Amino acid sequence: MIYPSVARSWQIRSLACGLILLQPAMSVRLVRGELPGGASVVAGSASIATQGNALNVTTHSDRAIINWQNFSIGAGNSANFHQPDSGSAVLNRVITPNNPSAIYGQLNSNGQVYLINPSGIIVGPSGMINANGFTASTLDISNKQFMQGGPLTFQGDSTAGVINQGTIQTGSGGAALLGNQVLNSGTITSDGGSISLATGG
């Protein structure tokens, strides 16, 4: 994962320096059996299919951007991202206002997954992320910058937070949680990558 630059006097801290435990003011409603929906591929190439309680996204380019009306995963459900290789990256952006993402099921990928939702993101107690790299952010990234690769600048005026109460497991791509407030009461591990939390200050 490429280390991000974060605008608006945000602070990036390593878990080795201690967790930032701040309670975001965010309310989440989760519909049982929910899966991400309302997808639109806006850059790169990807195919999306739902089978039973699983959403399968296959990207056919090294980088892809998908806009979603909603991106939540109910308990017992899974969203699986099949990418060309471990260095490939897919940006998932929720474009519906006041619609936070709630992950109580599984999100799996062999590559790097970015989830952007200015309304807030929660990984619930039963939620599990298993990817080479994972970033959850309430700040946005420009499409052009993401598709070009290289360092990423996260910007925006969201006041929502990111909460992890579940399990986030990543590989060399690392893990990053970026929000106006960030709370981690779950488990975050990375095999060969970095783990960062960034909060507004």
- Considering the chain, what percentage of its residues have pLDDT values greater than 70? 83
- Considering the chain, what percentage of its residues have pLDDT values greater than 90? 82
Q: Does residue 27 have a pLDDT over 90? A: no
* 78 token code pair: 């899974």
Could you read off the pLDDT of 176-188 as tens digits, one per residue?
A: 999 999 999 999 9
Q: Give the residue, 43 or 31, on which the prediction is more confident.
A: 43
pLDDT of the residue at 98 = 95
Q: Does residue 22 have a pLDDT over 50? A: no
* 162 token code pair: 């990111």
Question: Considering the domain 4-200, what is its CATH architecture?
Answer: 3 Solenoid (2.160)
pLDDT of the residue at 12 = 43
Q: Give the residue, 24 or 62, on which the prediction is more confident.
A: 62
Could you read off the pLDDT of 127-139 as tens digits, one per residue?
A: 999 999 999 999 9
pLDDT of the residue at 29 = 53
Could you read off the pLDDT of 57-114 as tens digits, one per residue?
A: 999 999 999 999 999 999 999 999 999 999 999 999 999 999 999 999 999 999 999 9
The rounded mean pLDDT for the chain is: 88
pLDDT of the residue at 199 = 87
Using CA atoms, how far residue 117 sits from 83, 102, 114, 154, 156, in Å, is: 22, 11, 10, 12, 11
pLDDT of the residue at 32 = 52
Q: Please compute the mean of the pLDDT values over residues 140-144 and round it to a whole number.
A: 97
Q: Please compute the mean of the pLDDT values over residues 149-171 and round it to a whole number.
A: 95
